[in-house]
Structure 1
Amino acid sequence: MSIKDKLAGNVLGFGTAPLGNMFRDIPEAEAQATVDAAWAQGVRYYDTAPFYGAGLAEIRLGEALSRHPRDEYVLSTKVGRLILDEVEDASARALGEKSGLFAAGRPNKLVNDYSADATLRSIEDSLKRMKADRLDIVWVHDIAQDFYGDEWLAYFETARKGAFKVLTRLREEGVIKAWGLGVNRVEPIELTLDLTEAQPDGFLLAGRYSLLDHERALQRLMPKAAERKTEIVVGGPYSSGILAGGSHFEYQKAPPEIISKVERIKAIAQRHGVSIKAAALQFVLANPAVAAVIPGASRPERIAEDTAALKAVIPADFWRELREQHLVAANAPLPGDSN
């Protein structure tokens, strides 16, 4: 069974990183209303992680979903970051990994741990925070962040011997339905696909397959995933918000060259009467290796925009002009292409 089947046909999911107070302190009522809006719009796949606000997103998501039957939605979270009872002081948080992203999240300290014991503990803790009795999909989180430097290969090796084996066993026992990596770099996915002993069901790739950034993924990852019949869930289709009216790219203020590229895409979109959100979502889903896309949101009205963007009719001339202007790779699958 493919990851698409395990997602029960949900091609549009909800990424909950913003619910962890990413970039801003979100009122509790607004967070709950956002999940409620997703449910009302028919969204039935929800992805979260302990890293998002040091458990805040999981707590908020669990509270909202507790009002609905568990069999009616697909739930995924991640392992690799353990939340400790220890609280970081303000100066440590300002300098740490959470600075800027989740500075307004819970103050608990996080540690990287991809071992077998940590994987089991992480799953148990996530279930408690979400008040859930089971998980459908578990992703091994951020195994190759840029700030790890060359150390990411050591983290990968720990995960190969620890998290990969534990998650494979849990899948075989029927405790979870699927597992894979949840990362924002293509290298660990390519490395995992080359392993003979690891058989993940799919991958969550954030930021590396979007309208703004997709060339590297197209070089080797997408063909290799298709060859292995392993599908990909795409996170961050709006590239940290720059494609949805925001000012961030790669979780930081967008640099001038990215802003310029977005303005060029916007100009073409305006000429053809196209929403840039619609272009971003439909571009991602045009790739046959992509099983689903999970944009994030922290305001209820954004959910309706996402569902409308998915259904919007985009003229072929729009995609043709993007390709002619070299704003998308020549080999990128586009909506309407015959594959």
Structure 2
Amino acid sequence: MELREIIPDRIGFGTAPLGNMFRAVPDDQARATVQAAWDAGIRYFDTGPLYGAGLAELRLGEVLSRQPRDAYVLSTKVGRVILDEEETGARDLGEKGTLFEYGRKNKIVHEWTADATERSIEGSLQRLGVDRIDILWVHDIAQDFHGDVWLQKFEEARTGAFRVLSRLRDEGVIKAWGVGVNRTEPIEITLALEEPRPDGFLLAGRYTLLDHAHALQRLLPMAAEQGVGMVIGGPYSSGVLAGGTHFEYADASPEIIEKVRRLREITDRHGVSIKAAALQFSLAHPVTVAVVPGATKPSRIAEDLAALEEKVPVDFWADLRRSGLVSPQAPLPEGA
């Protein structure tokens, strides 16, 4: 089943920040944020065991488990099994070692075998308090977490997680599966496989106003040719496009800060919010099914929905193109 047939709306809610990414978020604030998303009509929610060692799933489940299960679409991820025992040393998360230092201390087993995939799904169902998951993403089989051995992890997933998820889809246990990563190469390799065939992908941070040229070279044309949809995660580039200081899950470099300044010059000149520019840019590509910005405050939900509906003048996109801040190959919103 294609992602467009499963995901009901163009915007969803990403829960990585609810895993205490970068900072501790009070439980009541996290709960209120999820509730605000629900009350605003958002019906697609994405989460994952990695986010705070299960914390994001627990927080999301606290709200969603009280709602009719047929009323929303839920995706989570496989590749991490959360144990009851606590981690005693430093976490090994590759380039993102301190990303969830404020999350739960539970030990995380990083494994993409068939057995680990089954255990990962079972743990997610328990934390979420639901009886089924709609979409499962094979999480982080990429260079940013595994360095030079990432292809070994990919092969582990290909012979393990990929086959388990294909079987579960064929049995009707889940509706779809795919790969969820912060790099383009694992998706490109997956698209080139004869089997198994995923239903779509979650691409985080690689198709944003700040970072999109590489994805346009090979990945997105491949996806378009095969008719495969993408969910775009991290449309605000880890927050730097929404007033934050992080890019690619770390402190933004002077070069990135300067690029954001130039973008804001153009948005200010046209009276356009930078959130609107960011969301509408990511959604303009034909393969994009939905964007899933994250939030830790209820007010951010209203901002995101307003940005989605904001009327952006055609002249803005033309100005942005002339500035060289967007690739000549990047599709712009209709009419631009």
TM range (shorter): over 0.9
The answer on whether the counterparts of 2:94 and 2:144 sit within 8 Å (CA) in structure 1 is no
Using the size of structure 2 for normalisation, the TM-score is 0.98
Q: CA RMSD in A?
A: 1.4
User: 1:97/1:55 Cα in 2 relative to 1: closer, same or farther (>3 Å)?
Assistant: farther
What 5-or-longer segments of structure 2 have no aligned partner?
A: none
Could you say which residue in structure 1 is the equivalent of 2:176?
178
* C-alpha distance in structure 2 between counterparts of 1:27 and 1:97, whole Å: 26
Give the conservation status (yes or no) of the 8 Å contact 1:231–1:291: yes
The equivalent of 1:197 in structure 2 is 195
Aligned to 1:19: 18
Of 316, 328, 331 in structure 2, the residue corresponding to residue 330 of structure 1 is 328
Equivalent residue, structure 2, for 1:261: 259
Read off the aligned partner of 1:39 and give its amino acid letter: W
> 1:300 matched to which residue of 2?
298
Pick closer, same or farther for the CA change 1:17–1:104 going to 2, 3 Å.
same
1:101 aligned to 99, 102, 109, which one?
A: 99
Contact 1:94-1:103 within 8 A present in 2 as well: no
CA contact 2:94–2:147 (8 Å) conserved in 1: no
Aligned letter for 2:22? F
- CA distance, structure 1, for counterparts of residue 93 and residue 38 of structure 2: 37
Q: d(CA) in 1 for partners of 2:86 and 2:95? A: 14
Alignment correspondent of 1:5: 5
Indicate which of 234, 244, 264 corresponds to 1:246.
244
Q: Contact conserved, 1:77 with 1:137, CA < 8 A, in 2?
A: yes
**SS at the partner of 1:92?**
coil
Partner of 1:211: 209
| CA pair 261-158 structure 1, distance change in 2 beyond 3 A | same
Task: Provide the residue aligned with 2:281 in structure 1.
Answer: 283
Corresponding residue for 1:66? 65
Aligned to 1:313: 311
Aligned to 2:121: 123
Contact conserved, 2:232 with 2:291, CA < 8 A, in 1?
A: yes
CA distance in 2, matches of 1:3, 1:207: 19
Q: Between Structure 1 and Structure 2, how many residues are aligned?
A: 336
**CA positional deviation for 1:336:** 2.1
Alpha-carbon distance change, 260 to 208 in structure 1, aligned in 2, over 3 angstroms: same
Please state whether the residue corresponding to 1:119 is helix, strand or coil.
Answer: helix
| 1:283-302: CA deviation from partner (whole Å, max 9, x where unpaired) | 00000010000000011100
* Residues in 2 aligned to 1:16 and 1:95: alpha-carbon distance in whole angstroms: 18
User: How far, CA to CA, are the matches of 1:97 and 1:227 in structure 2?
Assistant: 32
Q: Equivalent residue for 1:86? A: 85
Secondary structure in 1 matching 2:211 = coil
* Alignment gaps of 5+ in structure 1: none
Tell me which moved more, 145-154 or 188-197. 145-154
Q: 1:147 to 1:66 in 2, by over 3 A?
A: closer
Moved more, 303-312 or 142-151: 142-151
- One-letter amino acid of the counterpart of residue 6, structure 2: K
* Conservation of the 8 A alpha-carbon contact between 1:87 and 1:107: yes
Q: Does the 8 Å contact 1:82/1:122 carry over to 2?
A: yes
Give runs of aligned pairs for residues 160-175 of structure 1, distance below 5 A. Answer: 160-175=158-173
CA distance in 1, matches of 2:320, 2:127: 44
Which whole-Å deviations, capped at 9, do the CAs of 1:188-240 have from their partners, x for residues lacking one? Answer: 00000000012100000000000000011100111110111100000000000
Contact 1:20 1:102 in 2 (8 A): yes
CA shift, 1:337, in A, is 4.6
Contact 2:94-2:145 at 8 Å conserved across structures = no
TM-score normalized with structure 1 length? 0.97
Percent identical pairs in the alignment equals 66
Q: How far apart, CA to CA, are the structure 1 residues paired with 2:224 and 2:14? A: 24
**Matches of 1:223 and 1:95, distance apart in 2:** 30
What SS class does the counterpart of residue 140 from structure 1 fall into? strand
SS of equivalent to 2:238: helix
The residue number in structure 2 matching 1:31 is 30
**Counterpart-to-counterpart distance in 2, 1:173 and 1:30:** 38
Q: Distance in 1 between matches of 2:97 and 2:157?
A: 25
Distance 1:94 1:103, change over 3 A: farther
User: CA deviation digits over 1:63-91, x for unaligned, max 9?
Assistant: 011221111000000001111222113x5
**Distance change (3 Å), C-alpha of 1:336 and 1:148:** same
Separation (CA, whole Å) in 2 of partners of 1:238 and 1:299: 15
